[in-house]
Amino acid sequence: MRSSCSVKSGAVVESNGGAYSGPLARGDAVALLPKVRARSSGAIRAALLMLLYPLLILAPLATAAALNPTSDHSRTEEVGIGCAAVGLAILALQFVITARLRWVEAPFGLDVLLVFHRVMALVATAALLVHPVLVTWGKQWPLLTRLRVPWFIWVGRAGLTLLLVQVLASLSRRVVRLPYERWRRVHNVLASTILALGYVHILAGSDDAHGGALVVWSALMALAFGCWLYGLVVRPRLLLRQPFRVTAVTSEAPHVWTLTLKAHAKRPFRFIPGQFQFLRLHGAEVAAEDHPFSIASSPTRSGSISVTIKESGDFTAGIGRVRPGDGATVHGPFGRFSHTLHPGEGTLVFVAAGVGITPFMSMLRYMRDRRESQSVLLVYASRSPADVIFGDELRSIEAGDFPSLRVIHVLSNAPASWLGETGRLDATRLARLLGGVEGRAFYLCCPPPMMTAMVRGLRRMGVPPARIHTDQF
């Protein structure tokens, strides 16, 4: 379970490139050039990837049609065969989408890719379910239920059954409360098995799967399994060559801890404020698993990063037992939840709930270090005064000139002595606190139900989608 904002939701496509890695003079034009160039190259890369994706999906089908322009199949059967080819190609590219490849992720953001991954999984499942119905339409209906069928039919049945199990398990994981890491391990094994079964089925059962079509299918499978093995075996070993080291463990609030990690001398870690990374701890009393956490520190403080984590699941429950000297590997940065990617937005409104303050601390610390006079209103929802994280530092930033910060705390379980805002934070209350929503850009990091209600409320008030940026737990 994530304990800090780490999966990003933003619709504006810009590049993560040009990340700032050290202090620069305010207004330094040279520092802005990498960001301008990166946005331009990121848009080009996004366009190329969006063009390449459908081309790869249709490549096996187009190759088979070009090599075999005539067919003895009926039109219905041809459509069924095409559904199988498209569905299997989509499943192959799922491995690329989820491989956390920076050149694929950067133009879109990992959150957009994961949503796309889920949608395309449903599209592939629908296409593969239609396939046997259309292929057996009419005279071959018994192929759907008969036991004595060619072996490759059984391979296809097995693959389709596992695919349905995979989809149902993914859709119901939260309902049955299946631990994320256990689900992910099973999900990965099933995904690779389904793809292998589909590959065997289409090669053995299709008259067109030879020659050039065989080369295309084999290339797609090599790409898929190459990405799978890279993420499972190769990348973890490469990261271990240049590990991070825990240098400090600080208690911020009840069950909330900040880990300070020193980067390897040969691996400078560059990021932009608001991004996140996947953290794996080694040698600590926690499971050696990858988990995403927002970076709380400013990128101007080179050589180390800090992550603030709340104990809220099996993995995070042991964070308080981490000790200085423990090793760690960090994969990232990822994400597009950063004010630096949206210049010229005017007054910024940060809305945080609980540990959702983490990415905002990175942005505020960056503004302070860069001496930016940006106008920012932070509305911070917490249960009680004891649950407020970084309270002293927020007051210090608010008392300074950089940025021009105003903090409003909203407590849901306030003591009798509390004189500030109490109760539930929603879009209506937010608009009242602001005195209106016009001319403001909103950055939201809070639990999903609150996030959904807040976005809907702001949209009803006329805030355009391009000025609402979300970062989900």
Q: Tell me: the pLDDT tens digits for 54-73? A: 999 999 989 888 887 777 77
Burial 274-289 (b: 16+ CB within 10 A, else e): bbbbbbbbeebebeee
Q: What's residue 180's pLDDT?
A: 76
CA nearest to 408, candidates 395, 417, 396 = 395
Q: Which of 101-110, 160-169, 316-325 has the highest mean pLDDT?
A: 160-169
Please spell the DSSP secondary structure of 173-225, one letter per residue.
HHHHT--HHHHHHHHHHHHHHHHHHHHHHHHHH-TT-STHHHHHHHHHHHHHH
- Rounded distance between C-alpha atoms, residue 224 and residue 317, angstroms: 34
Q: Tell me: the pLDDT tens digits for 203-247? A: 887 766 667 788 999 999 999 999 999 999 999 999 999 999 999
Residue 12 pLDDT class (50, 70, 90 cuts): very low
What value does the mean pLDDT take over residues 289-302? 92
- Rounded distance between C-alpha atoms, residue 35 and residue 15, angstroms: 8
Do 185 and 121 lie in a common domain? yes
Q: Tell me: the pLDDT tens digits for 363-412? A: 999 999 999 999 999 999 999 999 999 999 999 999 999 999 999 999 99
Do 230 and 203 lie in a common domain? yes
What value does the mean pLDDT take over residues 266-283? 91
Tell whether 407 is covered by a domain. Answer: yes
- Rounded distance between C-alpha atoms, residue 164 and residue 171, angstroms: 11
- CATH, residue 309: 2.40.30.10
Judge contact between 303 and 23, C-beta under 8 A.
Answer: no
- Residue 197 CB contacts under 8 Å (≥ 6 apart), including other chains: 155, 156, 158, 159, 162
Tell whether 351 is covered by a domain. Answer: yes
Judge contact between 108 and 46, C-beta under 8 A.
Answer: yes
Q: What's residue 417's pLDDT?
A: 94
Task: State the helix-helix crossing angle for 29-67 and 75-97, rounded to 10 degrees.
Answer: 150
- Rounded distance between C-alpha atoms, residue 454 and residue 275, angstroms: 22
Q: What's residue 221's pLDDT?
A: 96
Do 106 and 192 lie in a common domain? yes
Q: Is the pLDDT assigned to residue 20 strictly greater than 70?
A: no
SS3 state at 298: coil
Q: What's residue 466's pLDDT?
A: 94
Name the pairing type of β-strands 421-422 and 404-411.
parallel
Do 346 and 463 lie in a common domain? yes
Do 131 and 175 lie in a common domain? yes
Judge contact between 310 and 338, C-beta under 8 A.
Answer: no
Say which residue the tokens 């995904």 belong to.
191
pLDDT over 70 for what percent of the chain?
A: 89
Do 208 and 116 lie in a common domain? yes
- Rounded distance between C-alpha atoms, residue 344 and residue 32, angstroms: 14
Helix and strand counts by DSSP (H, E) for the chain: 13, 13
Q: Tell me: the pLDDT tens digits for 248-264? A: 999 999 999 999 999 99
Tell whether 14 is covered by a domain. Answer: no
Do 179 and 301 lie in a common domain? no
- Residue 160 CB contacts under 8 Å (≥ 6 apart), including other chains: 128, 129, 132
Q: What's residue 40's pLDDT?
A: 56
Residue that terminates a domain, selected from 334, 360, 384: 334
53 exposed, middle or buried (CB, 10 Å; 0-12, 13-18, 19+)?
A: middle
Q: Is the pLDDT assigned to residue 424 strictly greater than 50?
A: yes
Judge contact between 434 and 463, C-beta under 8 A.
Answer: no
Q: Tell me: the pLDDT tens digits for 167-200? A: 999 988 878 777 777 888 899 999 999 999 999 9
Q: What's residue 407's pLDDT?
A: 98
Residue 127 pLDDT class (50, 70, 90 cuts): very high
Do 347 and 398 lie in a common domain? yes
- Residue 345 CB contacts under 8 Å (≥ 6 apart), including other chains: 339, 441, 467
Do 233 and 348 lie in a common domain? no
- CATH, residue 428: 3.40.50.80
Q: Tell me: the pLDDT tens digits for 303-362? A: 899 999 998 877 788 888 899 999 999 999 999 999 999 998 999 999 999 999 999 999
Bridge-partner residues for 381, per DSSP?
353, 410
Tell whether 4 is covered by a domain. Answer: no
Average pLDDT, the chain: 87
- Rounded distance between C-alpha atoms, residue 199 and residue 211, angstroms: 15
Q: What's residue 116's pLDDT?
A: 95
Q: Is the pLDDT assigned to residue 13 strictly greater than 80?
A: no
The CA–CA distances, whole Å, from 375 to 131, 338, 355, 367, 369 equal 56, 15, 22, 10, 15
Tell whether 26 is covered by a domain. Answer: no
Tell whether 76 is covered by a domain. Answer: yes
Judge contact between 279 and 290, C-beta under 8 A.
Answer: yes
Tell whether 273 is covered by a domain. Answer: yes
Total residue length of the chain: 473
Residue that terminates a domain, selected from 334, 352, 381: 334
Q: Is the pLDDT assigned to residue 441 strictly greater than 70?
A: yes
Q: What's residue 146's pLDDT?
A: 85
Q: What's residue 35's pLDDT?
A: 46
Q: What's residue 39's pLDDT?
A: 56
Residue 75 pLDDT class (50, 70, 90 cuts): confident
Q: Is the pLDDT assigned to residue 3 strictly greater than 60?
A: no
The CA–CA distances, whole Å, from 114 to 66, 178, 224, 274 equal 33, 19, 16, 19
Q: What's residue 97's pLDDT?
A: 96
Name the pairing type of β-strands 327-334 and 276-282.
antiparallel
Structure tokens at 418: 């509390």
Number of independent structural domains in the chain: 3
Residue that terminates a domain, selected from 296, 312, 334: 334
Domain hosting 463: range is 339-472
Tell whether 31 is covered by a domain. Answer: no
- Residue 252 CB contacts under 8 Å (≥ 6 apart), including other chains: 258, 308, 389, 390
Structure tokens at 286: 């926690």
SS3 state at 21: coil
Do 177 and 189 lie in a common domain? yes
DSSP annotation of 264 reads: P
Do 227 and 89 lie in a common domain? yes
Q: Is the pLDDT assigned to residue 96 strictly greater than 70?
A: yes
Global pTM value: 0.84
CA nearest to 282, candidates 244, 237, 328 = 328
pLDDT greater at residue 143 or residue 40: 143
Do 378 and 266 lie in a common domain? no
Q: What's residue 464's pLDDT?
A: 96
Q: What's residue 98's pLDDT?
A: 94
